Amino acid sequence: MIIRSHQHWFARLFTWHGSVLPQIIVRLLLNLGMSLFALTISPWLKQLNSHLTLPPFSLLGIAVAIFLGFRNNASYSRYIEARKIWGSVMITSRSLIRQTLCAVDATQSAKLAANYLIAFAWSLNHSLRGTPAKHDLQRLLGEKEAESLSSHHALANGLLVKIGLFYANLLREGRISELNYRNIDDNLNELSRCLGGCERIANTPVPFAYSLILQRTLYLFCTLLPLALVVDLQWFTPFVSVFISYTFLSWEAVAEEMEHPFGESANNLALNAICTGIERNLLEMTDQAPLPPLLSVDRHYNLT
């Protein structure tokens, strides 16, 4: 995710890093080529008195814009829901450590609980992105426990089981009351719901047929558009056609990027920054040092 300081509107017009232009530049060049081709065959089409007209493209353009709006709304809803889930992971982790500090006398137990919860956040991050979690597990839990957890197919769920057993042992040893344990278990259930919510978003994309129909219609529209514009615009056709295509193609590219909020592209969730925030909070609450450095935020830094 790219987070930028305030930019002047004129400077923002030329922003490249974090925009979707690099993804669609080839498609725009193809549209430019089609525009030049339309200019080349324009005299021949006039002789045959055979050419496309703008009214059908006006109607089709409105329909494509409406469908793109629905697609963007669906993708943005997935993005916002994913961000709310990760916000809940942060809030619940803080609550669990606060409850542990208040219910258990030994600070060592709170430190161990904090390490488990930090490991849960990082393992969820890695499982959603398909990256290895071994380094973070070794850093937080030690090599022996990281090795035992590496056999779990669902690593984050395995850590939840470990955390549940940790608090159950505290209850059996009489170090926390049954009432405190019940409140702690409610928060563990909330973490389980967060895990399930992330898996649901990651494993349930927007239906493929819906995306396919929209893309086919959009690309056909952008391909044939120069043939309709060339009759009236002549040499202005490439400029107008590329601009209209840029508008539609960029909407489609943004929607496709945000459909998968847990990725590592510029407009996905900043999961690394969120996990670092959780780690800093929990380490500070349990008086552990050193704290990991904050990911800096400036005009050219990617927080993913």
Length of the chain counted residue by residue: 304
What DSSP line would sit under 126-137, residue for residue? HHHHT---HHHH
Query: How far, in Å, CA of 287 to CA of 300, rounded?
Result: 33
Query: How far, in Å, CA of 260 to CA of 252, rounded?
Result: 13
Domain region containing 257: 24-285
Q: What is the pTM of this model?
A: 0.86
The pLDDT confidence band at residue 63, using thresholds 50, 70 and 90, is confident
How far is C-alpha 37 from the chain's CA centre?
39
The pLDDT confidence band at residue 9, using thresholds 50, 70 and 90, is low
Say if residue 7's pLDDT is above 90.
no
Query: How far, in Å, CA of 81 to CA of 83, rounded?
Result: 5
Q: How far is CA 269 from CA 19, 36, 75, in A?
A: 15, 40, 13
Comparing 101 with 290, the larger pLDDT belongs to 101
Per-residue pLDDT at 304: 67
Comparing 265 with 128, the larger pLDDT belongs to 128
Q: Is residue 83 part of a domain?
A: yes
Query: 10 Å Cβ neighbour count for 186?
Result: 12
For the chain, what is the domain count?
A: 1
Q: Is residue 292 part of a domain?
A: no
Would you state the structure tokens that stand for residue 215, as one six-digit string?
A: 């893309």
Collapsing DSSP to helix, strand or coil, 304 comes out as coil
Q: Is residue 63 part of a domain?
A: yes
Task: Give the number of C-alpha atoms closer than 13 A to the C-alpha of residue 134, restricted to the C-beta side.
Answer: 7
The pLDDT confidence band at residue 12, using thresholds 50, 70 and 90, is low
Q: Is residue 274 part of a domain?
A: yes
Q: Is residue 294 part of a domain?
A: no
Query: How far, in Å, CA of 74 to CA of 297, rounded?
Result: 28
Stretch 1-12: mean pLDDT: 61
The overall average pLDDT reported for the chain is 87
Q: Is residue 2 part of a domain?
A: no
Query: How far, in Å, CA of 277 to CA of 303, rounded?
Result: 12
Say if residue 270's pLDDT is above 80.
yes
Stretch 133-161: mean pLDDT: 89
Range of weakest confidence among 36-40, 83-87, 107-111, 269-273: 107-111
Stretch 219-232: mean pLDDT: 89
Q: Is residue 302 part of a domain?
A: no
What CA dihedral angle connects 250, 82, 90 and 196, to 10 degrees?
A: -150
Q: Angle at Cα 274 formed by Cα 192 and Cα 107, nearest 5°?
A: 70
Per-residue pLDDT at 126: 94
Q: Is residue 185 part of a domain?
A: yes
